[in-house]
Structure 1
Amino acid sequence: MAVYTEVSDAELSAFVARYDIGRLLSAKGIAEGVENSNFLLQTETGFFILTLYEKRVNAADLPFFIGLMEHLAGRGITCPQPVRDREGNTLQQLAGRPAAMVTFLSGMSVNRPGVAHCGELGRALAELHAAGADFTLTRQNALDLHGWRPLFEQARAQADSVSPGLAQRISDDLALLENAWPKGLPEGVIHADLFPNNVFFLGEKLSGLIDFYFACNDALAYDLAICLNAWCFEADGSFNITKGQAMISAYEAVRPLDPSEVAALPILARGAALRFLLTRLVDWLNVPPGALVKPLDPLEYDRKLGFHRHATTAADYGRVA
């Protein structure tokens, strides 16, 4: 959510004037994140988030993302709700970019999630999956198993400059996952990027989910595997099984896992780690000159893969039989 596209005060004021939300009082660029340009706007009626969608976001996917947020908000999921202008539109153009405004959520993300945070996240993830079950639009996961080898080929030649032997480790993991990836698991709408910076808390209570711009249709348990990777590892690379148990048990209190999902969890978690290793690695090796945003460390997920290679059952992640 760094600011890649600058917008003048006059342009912002004219943009806000399309909505019944009062005059623009202030605007501030939001520095976090890596995908789009975001601004915190204060108007006479409250606070809003304005997003300008940069080149990595396919404009054809925007109706899915915006529609999903409206759908989930209508089913009780606390997430940004798209704001419609006076003509009923949610999608706009601003500074040569597709743009949309959404409601502001209270709360803050946590840098070091505790056990209680992981439990709250597990429950919220299952509720999101349940709420998305009747969403009619679909979007293919562009970063699923089939997208990983092309990413690897982009980075293969330079991978060992990041860490000795990294190319071979990735090659071995990728070959195993391509042969072992499960088929026929329960599918639905997944968030696909529910990292701690995309979840807000008030104290230890979850107050909202944000950043749905990787959302897609895929295996529901894969979404859980992404969250186990993002929330349950410690800074030293060790997996905190207590956090894993809290997340999985809270998830299953809302949506019990199918036996096929339980059996597949180690492979899904390994695949989720490889997906983020690869996208981070490509970004790490292709930082444009003068970039304002530091790419995320790919080796964090190389270390996590060290754990996944030795995990054999869902119990290794804290799932209680």
Structure 2
Amino acid sequence: DAVRPNALGPGSWPGLLDSCRRDGDSVQPGLVAELDAALAEILPAWPAPGALPRGQIHADLFPDNVFFLDGAVSGIIDFYFACTDILAYDVAICLNAWCFDAQGRFDAARSRALIAGYESVRPLSEAERAALPVLAAGAAMRFLLTRLYDWVNTPAGAMVTRKDPLDYLPRLRFHRAASADASSGAADHGF
């Protein structure tokens, strides 16, 4: 069985943030402190190795990497970030990529449909469902940090299309707030 570690998993996030620390607040004032606080919540809550089923995941399953024909998936591309990781983490990445609108608002109906579709092939365990909130926060953190890194470290004139890291800030804030609400018994995450 081939194993490819996730080079952009939780262990890489503190270093990514450190590499953006000097210029991160130029993107948005207070961003670095907010990301520090988010990491301080996410990393200790991250599932322990072996706690959840692992396998090969795409790790970048965004709408621009999926093709549809007659309403059905007809192809998937861009396996550059594919790796061995928590299977439900791929679901969390999809929740972030597919279940927020252009204004950063979470669409609970779309989330439920995405999970139902996934579970029609592979049901999530209770432990995976319980971990989805932290996995989703971690997925938002991962894409915010890699986009922030590119935003502040790509030289002028580089042949790279940078993506706005702030697109992922509302997602991260949503997951953090929903997790805080759920822990107080006030609400659930919507999935």
Aligned AA for 2:168?
Answer: Y
Aligned-residue offset at 1:315 = 5.1
Given candidates 166, 171, 184, the residue that maps to 1:304 is 171
Superposed CA RMSD in Å reads 1.4
1:94-105 to 2 correspondence within 5 Å? none
Measured in 2, the distance between the counterparts of 1:242 and 1:137 equals 36
Measured in 1, the distance between the counterparts of 2:190 and 2:95 equals 8
Measured in 2, the distance between the counterparts of 1:152 and 1:272 equals 15
**Partner in structure 1 of residue 33 of structure 2:** 168
Secondary structure, counterpart of 1:292 in structure 2:
coil
Kept in 1, the 8 Å contact 2:175–2:189? The answer is no
Q: Aligned residues: percent identity?
A: 55
TM-score (structure 2 length as normaliser): 0.92
Aligned-residue offset at 1:289 = 2.8
Measured in 1, the distance between the counterparts of 2:160 and 2:68 equals 25
Which of structures 1 and 2 has the bigger CA Rg? 1
Q: 1:293 to 1:203 in 2, by over 3 A?
A: farther
1:24-39 to 2 correspondence within 5 Å? none
Aligned-residue offset at 1:179 = 1.1
Aligned AA for 1:166?
Answer: L
**Partner in structure 2 of residue 232 of structure 1:** 99
**Partner in structure 1 of residue 83 of structure 2:** 216
Please tell me whether residue 266 in structure 1 is matched to residue 133 in structure 2: yes
Aligned AA for 2:66?
Answer: V
Measured in 2, the distance between the counterparts of 1:240 and 1:249 equals 14
The C-alpha deviation readout for 1:152-198, integer Å capped at 9, x for no partner, is 00001111100011001100011111211112111111110111111
Secondary structure, counterpart of 2:8 in structure 1:
coil
The C-alpha deviation readout for 1:117-172, integer Å capped at 9, x for no partner, is xxxxxxxxxxxxxxxxxxx2110111111000010000011111000110011000
Q: Which has the higher contact order (CA 8 A, sep 6+)?
A: 2
Please tell me whether residue 291 in structure 1 is matched to residue 164 in structure 2: no
Please tell me whether residue 142 in structure 1 is matched to residue 15 in structure 2: no
Measured in 1, the distance between the counterparts of 2:119 and 2:157 equals 46
Kept in 1, the 8 Å contact 2:88–2:128? The answer is yes
Kept in 1, the 8 Å contact 2:52–2:86? The answer is yes
Please tell me whether residue 250 in structure 1 is matched to residue 123 in structure 2: no
Please identify runs of 4+ aligned residues in structure 1 that moved more than 4 A: none
Aligned AA for 2:8?
Answer: L
Measured in 2, the distance between the counterparts of 1:242 and 1:154 equals 37
Q: Structure 1: 5+ residue runs without aligned partners?
A: 1-135
Secondary structure, counterpart of 1:310 in structure 2:
helix
Please tell me whether residue 191 in structure 1 is matched to residue 67 in structure 2: no
Measured in 1, the distance between the counterparts of 2:5 and 2:74 equals 28
Please tell me whether residue 153 in structure 1 is matched to residue 153 in structure 2: no
Aligned-residue offset at 1:293 = 2.8
Please tell me whether residue 317 in structure 1 is matched to residue 190 in structure 2: yes
Measured in 2, the distance between the counterparts of 1:252 and 1:317 equals 16
1:118-129 to 2 correspondence within 5 Å? none
Q: Structure 2: 5+ residue runs without aligned partners?
A: none
The C-alpha deviation readout for 1:6-63, integer Å capped at 9, x for no partner, is xxxxxxxxxxxxxxxxxxxxxxxxxxxxxxxxxxxxxxxxxxxxxxxxxxxxxxxxxx
Measured in 2, the distance between the counterparts of 1:273 and 1:231 equals 12
